[in-house]
Chain A
C-alpha cells in the first residue's frame, strides 16, 4: 500500500454502521395498469403487437423497443405458453440459503414474442424441458391486488 503510515493492529481498524433509508413509488404506466387490471378482473393476459415489426410484447408496452413505433393495438394472448428456460434458486434476497428452493421459469405465452419471468410449481426440475407447455395458476379473484403476484405461479399443463 502506497501509504507512509499504516494501521498495524486489527483492533485499531474501525468501521461505522449506516443505512440508506430509501422508499419509492413505482408507476406501472398506462400499459402496465391496463395489463394488470385486465388480468385481475378478467383473468385475461393482454399483449401489445407492433404492426411495424411483428413483435408482440407481454407485458404490453406503449412503444416498440425494436423499432420505436407507438403501439396502439391490444390483443389477447395466453394464458398458456411454452417454457423457455428455468432455474432452481437456493439463496434468498439476504444472500442466505433458502429452506425451500424456488423454481423460476421464463414463459412465452401463446401469441407473444417475449417471455415472462415467474415462479413455477407442480414439477421437479428434472421434469422440466424447454418447450414444455405451461399454464398459469391465479390467486382467488377476491385476493387479487392488480399486481404481477396475482399470478401465483405457472405449472406444467
Chain B
C-alpha cells in the first residue's frame, strides 16, 4: 500500500475580470509564491515534479508547455503540461507521488481570459468540424440543449436553476478573492437576456483572470512540513463520448464514473451522507444540480427543491459551493477545478474566514471541462 497523499500548500491570486497590469506569467508567479510560502518550501530545492494544466488555443500560443517552467521555479526540473482541468493535473500528480519516486508535487492552472478577444470562436472550434461546426452555432447551444433535456427528465425548473446563481453569487460576497460576486434576485432573471434558451446570461459563469497553485506531498514528507495536511483520499477522472450524437443528454455518466473511482479509493460507500460540503462545477446553473445527482449526492427529482429549500446553502444540510463556485468566483477555463479545491482546502483547514463552516471535515470537489466536452475529474478530501 503506497503512502497517503496530502495537500500541504495552496496559493491563489485575486480573481478579476481584467488584469491589465500583469502578464499570465506574473499571475502564475503570484499564486506560486503564495503556495510555496503557505507550504513553507523552496521550489528550487524541494519540489520534485510540476504539473500544469492549459490549452494552447486559450493561451493564444502553440506548444504552451514551453511557457510554464520559469515562473513556477520549475526550469531544469520535472514538469509537464496537460490539456485538462486542474483536477486532472492533481490526479496526475497523485499518481506520480504514489510511484514512490517523488515526495513533493506542484499543480498549477490559470486563466488570462481577458486576453482572449474571441472566446466564443475558440469554443466553437472545439465542435466537430464535419457535422457540427458548419451549422455556425455558438457553443452555448450545447448547454441549452442539455439544460432543456435535463429539466424535462428531472422535473427541475429554470427557476430552480436560477436559484443556483442567486445562491452562488451571493456566497461569493464573503469570499475575498471572488471576481463575480453579486446580490441577485429571481427578479433579475426575468429581465436577463436569453443566451440559448432556457439558458439566460445570468445562468452562465462569466470569465475572470487568476491563477491557483497547489502543493501536494506524500504522508512522510507532509509530516516534515509545518502546515496541517488535508488528505486527498480519492482522485478519479473520466471522459464520456465527445460526440454530440452519442452522448446521454440528461445525465453526465462520466461524472458518476469519475466519482465512483474516487469514492472507491476513499472507501466511501454512501456519498449522500458522507460529505460535510461539496464544491462542484457550476459553469452553468443547471450543471450544479446535474452534477450533484451524478455525484450521488441528490436525487434528480429532489435536487431542484433542495436548492429552493436552502438545503445546499451555506447554512443548509450539506452546503454546495460555499465559495461562490464558478458563477460567483468567475469562470477560469482549466483553473475552475483548482479554484474549487483551493476553497475546499481552506474550509478543511478551518481557514475560510467569513465563509468558515462549523462542520468541515470531509469534502468532494468536482470539475467539468465545459462545452462541448464530456470530461470530468473528482477528488475526495478529509482532515
Interface residues of A (CB under 8 A from B): 1-3, 6-7, 10, 13, 15, 18, 20, 24, 26, 28, 32, 55, 57-59, 65, 84-95, 97, 101-102, 104-106, 114-119, 125, 130, 147-149
A-contact 0/1 string along B137-173, CB 8 Å cutoff: 1101100111111001000000000000000000000
A106:B20 contact, CB within 8 angstroms? no
B135:A149 contact, CB within 8 angstroms? yes
Which residue from chain A places its CB closest to the CB of B119 in the assembled complex? Answer: A95
Min Cβ gap A21→B in Å is 11
The answer to whether B48 has its CB under 8 Å from any CB of chain A is no
Most A CB contacts (10 A, CB to CB) among B22, B29, B146, B246 go to B246
Point out the residue from B26, B130, B146 that lies within 8 Å of A85, measured CB to CB: B146
Q: Number of contact residues on B: which range applies?
A: 35 or more
A86:B193 contact, CB within 8 angstroms? no
B26:A117 contact, CB within 8 angstroms? no
The answer to whether B185 has its CB under 8 Å from any CB of chain A is no
A-contact 0/1 string along B1-22, CB 8 Å cutoff: 0000000000001100000111
Point out the residue from A13, A84, A89 that lies within 8 Å of B140, measured CB to CB: A89
Given the known A-B contacts A65-B241, A149-B134, are A93 and B121 also in contact in the complex, defined by CB atoms under 8 Å? yes
Report the bound CA distance from A27 to B220 in whole Å. 52
| In the complex, chain A residues whose CB is within 8 Å of the CB of B121 | 93-94
The answer to whether B66 has its CB under 8 Å from any CB of chain A is no
| In the complex, chain A residues whose CB is within 8 Å of the CB of B246 | 55, 57, 65, 114
A13:B149 contact, CB within 8 angstroms? no
Min Cβ gap B135→A in Å is 6
Report the bound CA distance from A94 to B140 in whole Å. 12
Min Cβ gap B75→A in Å is 19
Query: Which stretch in B82-90, B194-202, B308-316 binds the other chain?
Result: B194-202
Q: List 17 A-B contacts (CB under 8 A).
A: A13-B20, A26-B130, A28-B130, A32-B131, A57-B246, A58-B245, A85-B152, A87-B147, A87-B148, A89-B140, A89-B195, A91-B138, A93-B136, A93-B137, A114-B243, A118-B135, A149-B134
> Top 7 A-B pairs ranked by shortest CB distance?
A87-B144, A13-B20, A2-B33, A26-B129, A85-B149, A95-B120, A7-B21
